Copies of this chain bind each other. A is one copy, B any other.
Amino acid sequence: MSLQYALLGFLNYQPMTGYELKQFMDVSTANFWHAKQSQIYATLKKMAKMGLVESHIEAQNGRPDRRVYTITEEGRADMQNWLARPVTELQPKKELLLLKLFFSAGLDKAAILTQLHLQRKLHQQQAEQFKHETKAVIQQFAANMPQLAKDALLWDATRRFGELYEETAVRWLDETIAMIESDF
């Protein structure tokens, strides 16, 4: 149940709808936390029942009504509590490509190399995105709202992790491709 805290985190900046929350997530936390629209709606409903958020309907001219969620004092307290709680264990990861590679000894060299080259391209592209587009977005945010300067430092730290991660993936793929070519 960490999606809850992602939503509380955004609502702590300003009230917004489930739809807007999804859009914010897609351009900011998607790199390390994501959710489908339907899961966001369901989670908001549950959070309202728990008293962490409240909602009211806003009518619009010619558009469907918006259900705007606001964080409650209880929600703020829960969020602060969660933020201060230390993360004492590493999270287990799931990496589909590594699973495939682990069992690929029966494939021929060429098939493995094709797989690895494709993967290299994907990670390379993602690395570029973090280095340029994502970086620019954060810098603009920081420039437009100087009161969020501290926040922007942390946002950029999470972006930087993405950049380093993708670069590492590319480096590992280069290493592994070379190994397969020479030793396999």
Question: Could you tell me which A residues sit within 8 Å of B by CB distance?
Answer: 2, 5-6, 9, 12, 28-34, 79-80, 82-84, 86-107, 111, 114-115, 118-119, 122-123, 126, 148, 150-151, 153-155, 157-158, 160-161, 164-165, 168, 171-172, 175-176, 179-180, 183-184
Nearest chain B residue, comparing its CB with the CB of A30: B92
Known: A157-B179, A164-B172. A114 touches B98 (CB 8 A): no
Which residues of the other chain, B, contact A94 by a CB distance below 8 angstroms?
A: 2, 32-34, 91
Which residues of the other chain, B, contact A114 by a CB distance below 8 angstroms?
A: 86
* A/B interface sample: 5 pairs, CB < 8 A: A29-B102, A32-B98, A84-B111, A87-B119, A90-B122
Which residues of the other chain, B, contact A2 by a CB distance below 8 angstroms?
A: 94, 96, 99
Q: CA–CA, A99 to B42, complex, Å?
A: 20
Q: CA–CA, A91 to B96, complex, Å?
A: 8
Which residues of the other chain, B, contact A34 by a CB distance below 8 angstroms?
A: 92, 94
Across the interface, do A103 and B5 meet the contact criterion of CB distance under 8 Å? yes
Q: How many copies does the complex hold?
A: 2
Nearest chain B residue, comparing its CB with the CB of A148: B105
Nearest chain B residue, comparing its CB with the CB of A126: B90
Which residues of the other chain, B, contact A12 by a CB distance below 8 angstroms?
A: 103
Which residues of the other chain, B, contact A29 by a CB distance below 8 angstroms?
A: 98-99, 102
19 additional A-B pairs beyond A29-B99, A164-B172, beta carbons within 8 Å, are: A29-B102, A32-B102, A33-B99, A79-B103, A83-B100, A83-B106, A84-B107, A87-B115, A87-B118, A88-B118, A105-B150, A105-B151, A105-B153, A105-B154, A153-B180, A157-B179, A160-B176, A164-B168, A168-B168
